[in-house]
Amino acid sequence: MPSPSFPGTRAEARARLRDFLPAAGRYAARRNHVAADHENVSRLSPALRTRLLLEAEAVAAVLGEFAFGTVGKFVQELVWRTYWKGWLELRPGAWRDCVRQVRHLRAHAPAAVLRRAEEVAAGRSGVAVMDGFARELAETGYLHNHARLWWAAFWIHTERLPWALGADFFFRHLLDADPASNTLSWRWVAGLQTRGKAYLVRRSNVEKYLAPERLAPAGLDALDDDRALAAEIADTADLTPQPLPELPAAPDHLPARWGLWLHPDDLAPEVGGLAARRPVAVAAITSRPVYARLGLSSARQAYLARALADGVDRAAAHFGCPGACADAATTAAGVAAWARAERLAAVVAHAPFVGPVGDALPGVRAALAEAGVALVLLRRPWDARLFPCARRGYFDFWARAQRWLKEGRGEPELPLFPDRG
């Protein structure tokens, strides 16, 4: 199968968006069709996940070329990402439950279940179409969203395997693996996110939307529509809403020596409230032990390394200060060591989201406090405006977001294509 390319730098992401714009008007009609080269979708998701490109920039770019009604579906899919993020920020128990389940299952699930999970993930289920998707994910780090839904439904409702292990498989391999989108989409397919409404893979749907050359008859009878029955799954997550901390878009007062910490949740520091500020140093921290604990694939680690290096290089050039990518035993140890070496009085960062970087935040805060260094967290206006709207279902959220965008308040903090005037 062809190996799709994905932008791993901000320059590449901007170029990919520019190239995709002429097709944005056709997105609604073609987006569900799973083609071999994924020509029907933008393939911007890894760049959006790491915020090499901001959601607000992508929305402003398409609305600058088309009427809202023409590209509303593409905008809606971009806003879905923000909805999932906001929903998980308000209910972090869903992420913690998934992590807890994965650990428990690896240690205590019956051997037969773990063996079958390994076979299906390796593309040895016996259903050729689904096995092709499993191999595609492992080889390319990507699956079309429709294929993700089919495969997740196959894993949960056909194979009757634990949903959390499937979510973990995706998280380890997807280049665009987002804790919110991945965890909550798997919960939705399982029938947990919207109680009583599980997503089922049906043969008729696969045959309608999958490119003919990718259809393989072996095992397709396992997907016959009349065989689709939802598994009954208990929800063990604590979904009690948590308050969303109020954070500024830009720091009010900073000491003379402050540094900028970059992480994979936001790699566009030169866009927004920090653009005119001047840190004395910029750094990103990687951790091979943490990557190993998470089980991240080599392709995913390589993508993260490239994106982080690009973020540091751009930030160092923009702010006119030294930049470094360092590896450490933990994120907290790495950030604290860098802060001490640079004699910083404060470290500034866009607040990490719920997920692995967010999980590291208490340790980072404690290590910096021990070193006598303040931690200042920021939140982008896009997130500050939309996250609180994720208290209910998506369609209520979309109605609010749509009004905001149509009023022109969704413009990015800087124009994406300044050369266009």
State pLDDT tens for residues 94-127.
Answer: 999 999 999 999 999 999 999 999 999 999 999 9
Give first-to-last CA distance, the chain, whole Å: 41
pLDDT at 214: 82
| C-alpha span between 216 and 132 (Å, rounded) | 9
Phi, psi (degrees; rounded to nearest 5) at 238: -90, 105
| C-alpha span between 13 and 164 (Å, rounded) | 31
Residue with tokens 């998506």: 394
Distances (CA, A) of 327 to 114, 130, 266, 310: 32, 37, 18, 16
Distances (CA, A) of 165 to 36, 117, 128, 181, 192: 27, 8, 21, 16, 15
Question: Which domains, ranges and CATH numbers included, belong to the chain?
Answer: 10-90+384-420 (no CATH), 101-227 (1.10.579.10), 258-378 (3.40.50.620)
- Give 281's strand partners: 259
Phi, psi (degrees; rounded to nearest 5) at 233: -130, 130
pLDDT at 31 over 60: yes
- Nearest Cα residue to 89 out of 199, 246, 308: 246
Tokens encoding 65: 């070329």
| C-alpha span between 257 and 344 (Å, rounded) | 5
pLDDT digits (tens, 9 = 90+) for 189-246: 999 999 889 999 999 999 999 988 888 777 788 899 888 899 999 999 999 999 999 9
Residues counted in the chain: 421
Structure letter (DSSP) for residue 388: G
pLDDT digits (tens, 9 = 90+) for 322-334: 999 999 999 999 9
- Give 325's strand partners: 284
* Burial track 233-267 (b if 16+ CB lie within 10 A, e otherwise): beeebebeeeebeeeebbeeebeeebbbbbbbbbb
Cβ within 8 Å of residue 277, ≥6 positions away: 250, 251, 254, 319
Cβ atoms of 177 and 170 within 8 Å: the answer is yes
What pTM value is reported for the model?
Answer: 0.94
Distances (CA, A) of 12 to 7, 19, 311: 5, 10, 12
Rounded mean pLDDT, 273-283: 97
Q: Are strands 258-262 and 323-327 parallel, antiparallel or unpaired?
A: unpaired
Q: Percent of the chain, pLDDT > 70? A: 96
Rounded mean pLDDT, 334-349: 98
pLDDT digits (tens, 9 = 90+) for 47-62: 999 999 999 999 999 9
pLDDT at 206: 94
**SS3 for 19-77, per residue?**
HHHHHHHHHHHHCCCECCCCCCCCCCHHHHHCCCCCHHHHHHHHHCCCCHHHHHHHHHH
- Reduced to 3 states (helix: H, G, I; strand: E, B; else coil), residue 92 is coil
Rounded-to-5 percentages of helix, strand, coil across the chain? 55, 5, 40
